[in-house]
Structure 1
Amino acid sequence: MKLLIVSDIHANPWALEAVLTDAGSVDHVLFAGDAVSYGPDPRSVIGRLRELGAISVCGNHDHAVAWSADPRASAAKQPIALAMRGWTRGQLDAPDIAWLARLPLHLTVRIDATGFALYHATPRDSLSDYSLVPTVSDAYLSEIVAAVDADVLVVGHTHLPFARECGRLRIVNPGSVGQPLDGDPRAAYALWQDGEIRLRRVAYDIDAATDAIDRIELCPETRTVLMETLRRGRVEQREGERPDSRGERT
């Protein structure tokens, strides 16, 4: 059994197609949320996920676009998130928005006798908790996942890939397909095959993605931030800002 595990595609179909090609044939796709926002082509990404029959949960940006709700981004990124929310809604038709609105906040699915629990952020708060980062302590990790009744917990949200174990529970964050933030601009994803989890990276056509962002009808400063984030694989820290020790809000 081979599963493709992805998260945080953020309207970047170039990255998604590179991942699908690199992964090859899979039995199922597990998607941990944030199909839209920050990227230039939300319709293509939603269409591809629907075509793939991806087992999906809702991310904070999916929720924001579907319901015109608070994106719950950081203070620094909230203006961009709000601008992208409105622009993204304008690119989508009613079936696309309905698909986003139907996404569950979490789900558990059993595949070949293995239980997979999917949350965008964490089991404590599926949309707003940024505490599941690669450096989270064992004690804090145990506290966060205590109520999970599954063999594998799949999360996203932080755009930081990792695989950990907590007792019998295996935890995987595949990282971000469409907006990596760990300093590596390549698309990130994970594969589950016969009980083994592999974190993977693949290069994609970043120039195509940034060229498309540059054509979005938003202010030049917003477009520049979004383009540079893709090129660098990180958000540039402004002078005087301190990174959140538990993970940057995205």
Structure 2
Amino acid sequence: MGTGGHGGAGTGTGGVVADVGTVAVLSDVHGVLPVLDAVLAEPDVRAADLVVVTGDHAAGPQPVEVLDRLASLGDRALLVRGNADRELVAWARDGAGHVPDPVVPWAAAQLRPDQVELLAGLPHPAEISVRGFGRAVLCHGTPRDDEEVVLVDSSLGRWAEVLADLDPDVRTVVCGHTHMPFVRLVDRRLVVNPGSVGMPYGRPGGSWALLRDGQVSLRHTEVDVDAAVAAVVAGSDYPDVAEWAEYFLRSAASDAEALRVFGPRDGRPA
């Protein structure tokens, strides 16, 4: 399977980044600036050689501000396209598309033309080489589909299906999309999902992961949730921002609820 190249946050083009030492992995920021800033301020994120963000960057109440913050990381950041990024581009360009979340059309209307082009140019999947991990493919849902669902307890048969097109020497897959962190082996291949920065299921705060010296560390950044909700409400003109922020930043949906909702989408019985 061709895994695409990448560049810094501003372009999304170029060749494979090789021999990276330490990688901080974020995902699913969904336009929530205060939690993103809290995660980016973590010492291990600041010290990482590369910050990877595996999709769904801006579909939320602060899309312009979040994309500007990610772009400010320059070549230290590698942004991968998520399904919501693709949906934002469709709405910004054509004013139509699938809308799983009503914030999408609003967020698309806020974006500057350069930000629409940034999202349109992001790769999915992308690939890097990380010391201690070898070839690592970076995706949102799965390497073959930015919207496909696999979960920590998906069957080995399901995992084999969604990873079947990868080259055998790709030993690490980093994904996002389901907003719940996990690390697991799939027939000797390591799969990492860092969870979500802006829309976490299970507990509030920013979830992320650190890849260093062949070890994966799932991390969690505690935030003052009241202050974060207030900052999002004050920093957004989205009409339903208070309700949106209360629900998502306080992690009203548990991981158990999310697994029940997502489960049928990985092929298991409802």
State whether TM-score is above 0.5. Answer: yes
Which SS does the other structure have where 1:245 is aligned? helix
Normalised by the length of structure 2, the TM-score is 0.77
* Alpha-carbon offset, residue 213 of structure 1: 4.4
In the other structure, the counterpart of 1:178 is: 198
Matches of 2:248 and 2:49, distance apart in 1: 32
Matches of 1:42 and 1:123, distance apart in 2: 25
Which SS does the other structure have where 2:47 is aligned? coil
Q: Name the amino acid aligned to 2:148.
A: D
In the other structure, the counterpart of 1:100 is: 119
Q: Is 2:230 aligned against 1:211?
A: yes
Structure 1, residues 152-204: CA drift from partner, whole Å, max 9, x if none? 101100001111112332110000011101x2112100000011011111112
Q: Is 2:82 aligned against 1:55?
A: no
In the other structure, the counterpart of 1:75 is: none
Contact 1:14 / 1:205 at 8 angstroms: preserved in 2?
no
* Alpha-carbon offset, residue 236 of structure 1: 11
Task: Give the direction of change, closer, same or farther, for the CA distance of 1:148–1:37 in structure 2 (3 Å limit).
Answer: same
Q: 2:67 aligns with which of 25, 43, 46?
A: 46
In the other structure, the counterpart of 2:3 is: none
Task: Give the direction of change, closer, same or farther, for the CA distance of 1:190–1:170 in structure 2 (3 Å limit).
Answer: same
Q: 2:156 aligns with which of 121, 135, 138?
A: 138
Q: Name the amino acid aligned to 1:177.
A: V
* Alpha-carbon offset, residue 42 of structure 1: 1.5
Matches of 2:48 and 2:239, distance apart in 1: 40
Task: Give the direction of change, closer, same or farther, for the CA distance of 1:163–1:60 in structure 2 (3 Å limit).
Answer: same
Structure 1 vs Structure 2 CA RMSD = 2.6
Task: Give the direction of change, closer, same or farther, for the CA distance of 1:235–1:184 in structure 2 (3 Å limit).
Answer: closer
* Alpha-carbon offset, residue 212 of structure 1: 4.4
Q: Name the amino acid aligned to 1:139.
A: G
Contact 1:2 / 1:192 at 8 angstroms: preserved in 2?
yes
Matches of 1:32 and 1:42, distance apart in 2: 16
Question: 1:109-128 counterparts in 2 under 5 A?
Answer: 109-112=128-131, 114-126=134-146, 128=147
Q: Name the amino acid aligned to 2:162.
A: I
Which SS does the other structure have where 1:243 is aligned? helix
Question: 1:169-248 counterparts in 2 under 5 A?
Answer: 169-181=189-201, 183-214=202-233, 216-220=236-240, 223-234=242-253, 243-246=261-264
